[in-house]
Chain A
Amino acid sequence: MTMNRRDLLLTGAAGLAATSPFLSRTPALAQAAEPNYKPEQGAELRILRWSPFVKGEEDAFLANAKKFTDQTGVQVRIDKESWEDIRPKAAVAANVGSGPDIVLVWFDDPFQYPDKLVDVTDLATYLGGKYGGWYPGLEGYTKTREGKFIGLPLATIANAVCYRESHVKDAGFSTFPTKTDEFLALCKALKAKGTPAGFTLGHGVGDGNNFAHWVLWSHGGKMVDENGKVTINSPETIAALRYVRELYQTFIPGTESWLDVNNNRAFLAGQVSVTANGVSLYYAAKNDPKLADMARDIRTTNFPIGPVGQSVELHQVTSTVLFRHTKYPNAAKAFLKFIFEEPQMNAWITASSAYCCQPLKAFANNPVWTSDPNHAAYARASETLRPNGYAGPLGPASASTMADYVLVDMMAEAATGSRTPEEAARRAEQRATRFYRNA
């Protein structure tokens, strides 16, 4: 955080001024006053978003933007970049102070340049009050520790366990295990049957990190504590590493070389019967007539619960940020408000066919989640989500630690047996400490 005392005093004062009259008027604090943004004369907006993973999702996003233009006359230009290119592009825009007004960023990006972003606390409070509140995990990606929103979480790109029901049954399990130890037993049985599981242990930005974070968190390990002190070398982490070592031995060979695509390929070719992925895996089978039998056999569920006793997972999270360099802040806020309001948000969630999970609790009622039984697991993504860099502050250190695959490498080292769990944890501690030294 690069905030000086003056900034803090100013925001504090502004926050007080904004909330106190409102507090006196509505004692229940049930719903914040609806902010109204009048777009500036001749306003036009440039939005940079990631290339779509699901065609329908982009169509709905564009349709919402068009609707906004029709209603307000504000022209909206939408550019696309591959999802991994968004981070440098947004950072450059922040640095040079020009470029798109709104960017759909990933993970802890807002905390890389918090002072370059427009405070949207009023809008976030209003939306949260109206739609049942933000999911806490998602909120962490845009809400500073001082309680200020520097962006709005837009969606969780949901990840869930995908499995072949017939294979699980053949292995002697009538239902999919919900506990980590039973899950290990299942994987052993699957391997014995010749239909093994497989999870990404290579440098896959999405799948590799999702799996590694689940293993760690489900056993109570964490990279850093609340103050950003590295605590990865802990008994909980060692337990997680012992677990992954056993689990790995039941996997199909070669998972330590897997990147983001490999698990999809192996699953669709019938080589693995359990993996974790976005809903796209299910749809790849469902939309292919040759894989009709497989599609009927696919089931999805959440990752098993470990010793911590609750579902904790990492998913990709995308948020909208509004840059201070925008010439039309009111038009931009009006646009953001528009796309988060119920008709637009519901249309967008529906169109993304369970790929994008809602940021606000009220949208959990969206019919898309019950339209197919396999969507149910994805509906819980925002609920089970924890931000990367848990339990510390988000920022450059958390981003660098994940980008350097510190956790993924630790898991792979212990899983493959190239290092003992103790050595792997110590090495991860050293690597993470480099990044967190100034945090």
Chain B
Amino acid sequence: MANAALAGTAGTKDRAGRRPVWGLGQSRNALGILFMAPAALILLVFLAYPLGLGVWLAFTDTRIGRAGTYVGLENYELLLDDSVFRLSIFNTIFYTAVASVLKFGLGLWLALILNERLPFKAFFRAIVLLPWVVPTVLSAIAFWWIYDAQFSIVSWALIKLGIIDSNINFLGDPWNARAAVIAANVWRGIPFVAISLLAGLQTIPPSLHEAATLDGATPWQRFRNITLPMLTPIIAVVMTFSVLFTFTDFQLIYVLTRGGPLNATHLMATLSFQRAIPGGQLGEGAAIAVAMIPFLLAAIMFSYFGLQRRRWQQGGAD
């Protein structure tokens, strides 16, 4: 903000040769600042301030109902000793990695299918969006029933078909529970990936494919050498968002397992909430939340440098 203000003043001085006009309406820079101010203010108040406060809280021993004092890195040191926290890091990375890969693979596949000539294309595209449109809590409750230890429709159907003898312990066994929450997350996340990639696919000029076909390229070669490179920028953006959403997932876990069984599905976000609000240890909860930031930054950096910055995309050589 301060820099922008300085630039604004400099801009007015540049025009000192002419008669300086101090009215806001006459100065493009000042007007620009004015237009940006509300957005900057919103960002400052609703994003920068809470983030800063969270980082500060993580350095204190604040509890619900009592202001804390500065304790330096104590929260982090204690967390490193905490097996539940370490387990939650593993769970979060595992959850994000597996769910993101599945969402990408299935989403891309779905996008490619929807990009073909299909009857009722608009209808199918609308249907695909449904899981994304339904509020997470509602779909989570539906999954809760699907995974119920006693009333699971999946178990029921498999028993009726004679494939299994007893109910599947979806949310009771640690690895089953991890797989179950990942499946629910993938179901919910595919539409976002699929529809975004579909939009990307439609920006690829058909002439490229026609030319390649005339040159005798196989469908796989066309996909590998035309579709994929043209789609990379979109993939980078979509997967960055997808990874961020997955890494910070909360509602699904909270409804399905509350982090159980034996903390096998506790993500960093759910553990942070559990420690901070029901547990009352705001400082520690904030420290867990802050500990998520490096992972998120790493994910963003990876997609930014790894996928997005191809020079040829900006007109340079690859």
The answer to whether A253 and B65 touch across the interface, beta carbons within 8 angstroms, is no
Q: Does A144 contact B (CB under 8 A)?
A: no
Q: Does A57 contact B (CB under 8 A)?
A: no
Q: Does A139 contact B (CB under 8 A)?
A: no
Q: With the chains together, A262 CA to B66 CA distance in Å?
A: 36
Contact mask A252-273 → B, CB, 8 Å, 1/0? 1111111100100110010100
Minimum CB–CB distance from B142 to chain A (whole Å) comes to 15
Q: With the chains together, A404 CA to B258 CA distance in Å?
A: 11
The answer, among A2, A95, A253, A418, for a CB contact under 8 Å with B167, is: A253
The answer, among A112, A262, A271, for a CB contact under 8 Å with B63, is: A112
Interface range for A: 35 or more
On whether A253 and B262 interact (CB within 8 A), knowing A95-B67, A404-B279, the answer reads no
The answer to whether B257 and A257 touch across the interface, beta carbons within 8 angstroms, is yes
Binds A, one of B30-38, B129-137, B169-177, B233-241: B169-177
Q: Tell me which residues across on chain A come within 8 A of B171, comparing CB atoms.
A: 202, 254, 257
Binds A, one of B78-86, B94-102, B203-211: B78-86
Binds A, one of B8-16, B52-60, B145-153, B289-297: B145-153
Q: Tell me which residues across on chain A come within 8 A of B149, comparing CB atoms.
A: 252-255, 257-258, 262, 266
Q: Which residue of B lies closest to A203 (CB)?
A: B258
Q: Which residue of B lies closest to A260 (CB)?
A: B258
Minimum CB–CB distance from B137 to chain A (whole Å) comes to 13
The answer to whether A203 and B259 touch across the interface, beta carbons within 8 angstroms, is yes
Secondary structure dominating the interface of B: loop
Contact mask A72-103 → B, CB, 8 Å, 1/0? 00000000000010011001101100000000
The answer to whether B83 and A403 touch across the interface, beta carbons within 8 angstroms, is no
The answer to whether A88 and B277 touch across the interface, beta carbons within 8 angstroms, is yes
Q: Does A399 contact B (CB under 8 A)?
A: yes
- The interface size of chain B toward A, counting residues with CB under 8 Å, comes to 37
The answer to whether A252 and B177 touch across the interface, beta carbons within 8 angstroms, is no
Q: Does B278 contact A (CB under 8 A)?
A: yes
Q: Does B42 contact A (CB under 8 A)?
A: no
Q: Which residue of B lies closest to A400 (CB)?
A: B279
Contact mask B61-83 → A, CB, 8 Å, 1/0? 00111110000000000100111
Q: Does B275 contact A (CB under 8 A)?
A: yes
The answer, among B66, B148, B150, B174, for a CB contact under 8 Å with A2, is: B66
The answer, among B169, B280, B281, for a CB contact under 8 Å with A257, is: B169
Contact mask B212-249 → A, CB, 8 Å, 1/0? 00000000000000000000000000000000000000
On whether A113 and B274 interact (CB within 8 A), knowing A203-B258, A256-B172, the answer reads no
Q: Tell me which residues across on chain A come within 8 A of B257, comparing CB atoms.
A: 202-203, 257, 259
Q: Does B200 contact A (CB under 8 A)?
A: no
Q: Which residue of A lies closest to B277 (CB)?
A: A88
Q: With the chains together, A113 CA to B62 CA distance in Å?
A: 12
The answer to whether A418 and B262 touch across the interface, beta carbons within 8 angstroms, is yes
B residues in contact (CB < 8 Å) with A: 63-67, 78, 81-84, 147-151, 166-167, 169-172, 174, 177, 257-263, 274-275, 277-281
The 7 tightest CB contacts between A and B, nearest first, are A254-B149, A257-B171, A113-B65, A203-B258, A403-B279, A91-B64, A257-B172
A residues in contact (CB < 8 Å) with B: 2, 84, 87-88, 91-92, 94-95, 112-113, 116, 201-205, 252-259, 262, 265-266, 269, 271, 396, 399-400, 403-405, 409, 412-413, 416, 418, 427, 430-431, 434
Since A257-B149, A257-B257 are in contact, a sample of 15 more A-B pairs with Cβ atoms closer than 8 Å, ordered by chain A residue number, is A91-B64, A91-B280, A203-B257, A252-B149, A253-B169, A257-B172, A262-B148, A262-B149, A266-B149, A399-B280, A403-B274, A403-B279, A404-B84, A412-B261, A431-B83
Q: Can you report 5 A-B residue pairs in the complex whose CB atoms are below 8 A from each other?
A: A87-B277, A94-B65, A203-B260, A257-B147, A409-B260
